[in-house]
Chains A and B, each alone.
Chain A
Amino acid sequence: DQQVKQNSPSLSVQEGRISILNCDYTNSMFDYFLWYKKYPAEGPTFLISISSIKDKNEDGRFTVFLNKSAKHLSLHIVPSQPGDSAVYFCAARGAGSYQLTFGKGTKLSVIP
């Protein structure tokens, strides 16, 4: 039973345009959400996070939006660059918990 779902296995976007990656969750106990980026043959690297007390967090080209009522979050990358091509994982953590629950990832391809 997947508690964190990334329903799009892949996404292609033209360089300079906006990339929007989506994530849904089912566990209402999750209160902290993270996005990780993973290149082939490397471990995931942290990108951006958001606490459930916020609905938006921005860091440079990356913005994460959280809609708690819909149990949905999204990562926006503007403008997209070829170096952004990677697999993006959404992850969630419950209150008082250390473990991260991951989605299956979305492979983003940014086309020059």
Chain B
Amino acid sequence: DAMVIQNPRYQVTQFGKPVTLSCSQTLNHNVMYWYQQKSSQAPKLLFHYYDKDFNNEADTPDNFQSRRPNTSFCFLDIRSPGLGDAAMYLCATSSYRGRTEAFFGQGTRLTVV
């Protein structure tokens, strides 16, 4: 089945140690998103790519970076994770053609110790 796959499902990292989360998609969608969701809160958009064009949300900390080497893959890099960065990170994709829904991966639960 075509889908959005995130790896790993669970990630434990040390305070201040760089970590990378990955996302791949088989939907061939132009747009890819990274959301952060903390407990009992709304998913919050960090940034999105429209093809290779990177769009950062104004309030996304500089500690968060992203790479999209090709249509299928997108990475979230956290340069120096703090305890406050512990959250569920959700990758999603959508097509720019028409008003379609976004398809989400299963998420990566990040724990910072």
Contacts and interface: CB of A to CB of B under 8 A. Distances in A.
A binds B: yes
Interface of A: 2, 4, 9, 32, 34, 36, 41-46, 49, 51, 89, 93, 98-105
B95 to A, nearest CB: 10
Nearest to B104: A43
A93 B96 CA distance: 13
Interface string B46-73: 0010100000010000000000000000
Contacts of A101: 42, 45
8 contacts: A36-B104, A43-B4, A43-B92, A98-B94, A100-B102, A104-B40, A104-B42, A105-B40
Interface string B81-113: 000000000101010100101111111010000
B96 A2 contact: no
A98 B104 contact: no
Interface residues of B, number: 28
Interface string B12-50: 000000000000000000010101000011111100101
B20 to A, nearest CB: 19
Interface of B: 4, 6, 9, 31, 33, 35, 40-45, 48, 50, 57, 90, 92, 94, 96, 99, 101-107, 109
A99 B99 contact: no
Given A42-B107, A44-B43, 10 more contacts: A9-B40, A32-B99, A43-B104, A43-B105, A45-B104, A89-B42, A89-B43, A99-B33, A102-B35, A104-B42
A70 B80 CA distance: 44
Contacts, number: 59
B112 to A, nearest CB: 19
A99 B106 contact: no
Nearest to B95: A98
Contacts of A98: 31, 33, 48, 50, 94, 96
A34 B48 contact: no
B104 A44 contact: yes
A43 B106 contact: yes
